Amino acid sequence: MQLLPNDAKWIEGHLSTAEQEALLGDIRQIVAKAPLYTPTMPRTGKAMRVQMTNCGALGWVTDKHEGYRYQSFHPVTAKPWPAMPPRLLSMWRELAGYPHDPEACLINYYGPEAKMGLHQDRDEEDFKAPVLSISLGDACRFRIGGATRSGGTASIRLSSGDIVLLTGRSRLAYHGVDRIYPGTSGLLKGGGRINLTLRRVTRPD
């Protein structure tokens, strides 16, 4: 385990090849029920560069009219999100250091040219709960800073099977993906990268 700015945790190679393949099988089952779609930005309606879907009781979505939010159903199919696989719940319970289970897993698919600008994960009620991020597929250049967009940042190369945990001081750190490195993993037949982020959305009673 390595520490990133503000005590974010980077766990290199946490998942073996077999574990990555098993998790990818779970994701394929989710996508069969809740297809990937291209979200749009609030106000402008500009299409994001990633495709996404969710699993769990709640899912993170965004669109031009209602903006960033969590909801219990897919915005295209209007069906409830698929249940979170036991494999993901086990990883959260092992690594998160938080006494309550996650309610959402955002699944982002990055094509070879996709990026994600610096942003905070702040649409949740309880920032004491971490955000647990899992990388599958092609490597990426991940950038992380502090609690302000203008602060300094550090960049690392995340590979398939790596974990990043935003917790404590890093929970509201600005972070993003500057680029994908095509052809660096054979996990996804068509190439690209899948990022899973597990989140607790509501504040426990």
CB 137 within 8 A of CB 193: yes
pLDDT number for residue 3:
85
Q: How far apart are CA 65 and CA 81, in angstroms?
A: 21
Fold of the domain spanning 2-199: Jelly Rolls (2.60.120)
pLDDT number for residue 5:
85
Question: Which residues are registered as beta bridge partners of 110?
Answer: 193
Q: How far apart are CA 198 and CA 19, in angstroms?
A: 17
What is the residue type of 138? D
Specify the 3-state DSSP secondary structure of 5: helix
Dig out the tokens for 58 from the structure.
């709640």
Domain spans, the chain: 2-199
Low-confidence ranges of the chain (pLDDT < 70): none
pLDDT number for residue 198:
98
Q: How far apart are CA 163 and CA 196, in angstroms?
A: 10
Distance of CA 65 to the CA centre of its chain: 23
pLDDT digits (tens, 9 = 90+) for 138-186: 999 999 999 999 889 999 999 999 999 999 999 999 999 999 999 999 9
pLDDT number for residue 178:
98
Phi-psi map region of 7: left, alpha, beta (phi>0 left; psi -120 to 50 alpha): left
- The dihedral through the CA atoms of 144, 146, 150, 152 has a sign that is negative
